[in-house]
Amino acid sequence: MVDQQQRDGRAGIDAELVRRLIAAQFPHWASLPVRPVEVEGWDNRTYRLGDDLTVRLPTHEAYVPAVEKEHRWLPRLAPVLPLAIPESLALGQPGEGYPHPWAVRRWIPGDTAQPERTADMVTFAESVGEFVLALRRADPTDGPLAGAHSFYRGTSPEHYDDETRRALHSLAGRIDTERATAVWKSALDATWTGPPVWFHGDIAHGNLLVRDGSLTAVIDFGTSGVGDPACDLVISWTMFSGPSRTAFREVVEPDSGAWARARGWALWKALIVLAGTIDSDPDTAAEQRAVIDEVLADHDLEVSL
């Protein structure tokens, strides 16, 4: 399992390793202090390098393709996007006992998005929608087609059909699996036929940065690529609700098929996380139940219209 190997990989990454890598490969930065960031993701470990830089190291080989992908493509995307995105300044090579390539990037100030940190959730949702549209308008020529490097975001959610159905089976009697199955079937039936466009792959509160209540940056393009952008609508049920969801949908204007596939992506993730935490982590389980409830209610409303 990637999760266990990933945990093993994280154990060997620390500030001392980062200092050695910088000294060996980028000695002009060797005098800068190294310290962990306060909030970091699961796929990578990130360290501040001085005041203006960060060092980002994949925790598992599955996340290695993102390093070169982001280094190559983010400079091409940045000029057409309305918000700041990561700027990769240098690519590091395996060394000092660390087996993967890694990156040095410019630090982007801001806090991860939370409702209490936003001045107005409707305005925030509109800004997210405008970013999604701008990303879709970026030139997709020769871009990385959705696949393993994007963890199959940008493809049909059918890639995760077996995993989803196992989760549904394990949760039988604990959630409304009949309604959830109907949502999943609708997602699989809504075949994508549009031209491939750029997608982020993980538009979520942890990858959105705010300052003074406004959205200012989007980070972590590790699951980005070119394909079906429906996966970028998942935030509709994981962070937005009511007026903010409506505002986001009105900006992005997805057709009914894209909305159905997006519900499928949201449901897949919530189901597999819930199945793994329902008896061990009540807080996380409650969060995933809330997402599932939002997705099912949204589907029911659409069916009734």
How far separated are the first and last CA of the chain, in Å rounded? 43
DSSP H helical segments within the chain, as ranges?
A: 2-11, 15-25, 65-77, 121-137, 161-170, 177-189, 235-238, 242-252, 256-277, 282-304
**Contact indicator for 189, 293 with CB cutoff of 8 Å:** no
Quick one: 75 and 175 in the same domain?
Answer: no
Quick one: 63 and 146 in the same domain?
Answer: no
Final residue of a domain: which of 58, 80, 107? 107
* Residue 6, pLDDT above cutoff 70: no
The CA-based angle 73-228-164, given to 5 degrees, is 115
Quick one: 216 and 85 in the same domain?
Answer: no
Its domain, for residue 123, covers 112-304
Quick one: 66 and 159 in the same domain?
Answer: no
* Residue 56, pLDDT above cutoff 90: yes
Residues 6+ apart with CB under 8 A from 303: none
Quick one: 98 and 117 in the same domain?
Answer: no
**Contact indicator for 299, 263 with CB cutoff of 8 Å:** yes
Quick one: 167 and 285 in the same domain?
Answer: yes
Q: What are phi and psi of 21, to 5 degrees?
A: -60, -45
104, containing H or E segment: strand 102-106
Quick one: 207 and 228 in the same domain?
Answer: yes
Quick one: 67 and 182 in the same domain?
Answer: no
Q: Across the strands, what pairs with 215?
A: 210
Q: What is the pLDDT of residue 19?
A: 98
Domain of residue 243, CATH code = 3.90.1200.10
Final residue of a domain: which of 107, 132, 167? 107
Domain count within the chain: 2
Token pair for 276? 């793994």
Quick one: 175 and 248 in the same domain?
Answer: yes
Final residue of a domain: which of 79, 107, 135? 107
pTM: 0.94
Quick one: 67 and 128 in the same domain?
Answer: no
* Mean pLDDT, range 104-127, rounded to an integer: 96
* Mean pLDDT, range 290-303, rounded to an integer: 95
113, 146, 260: which is closest to 249 by C-alpha?
260
Local structure of residue 285 (DSSP, 8 states): H
Quick one: 123 and 242 in the same domain?
Answer: yes
DSSP H helical segments within 202-281, as ranges?
A: 235-238, 242-252, 256-277
Domain of residue 89, CATH code = 3.30.200.20
Token pair for 144? 């990385």
pLDDT band at 40 (very low <50, low <70, confident <90, very high): low
Distance CA(67)–CA(150), nearest Å, equals: 12
pLDDT digits (tens, 9 = 90+) for 189-207: 999 999 999 999 999 999 9
Which is more confident, 37 or 124?
124
**Contact indicator for 47, 34 with CB cutoff of 8 Å:** yes
Quick one: 182 and 265 in the same domain?
Answer: yes
Distance CA(183)–CA(164), nearest Å, equals: 11
pLDDT digits (tens, 9 = 90+) for 133-146: 999 999 999 999 99
* Residue 244, pLDDT above cutoff 90: yes
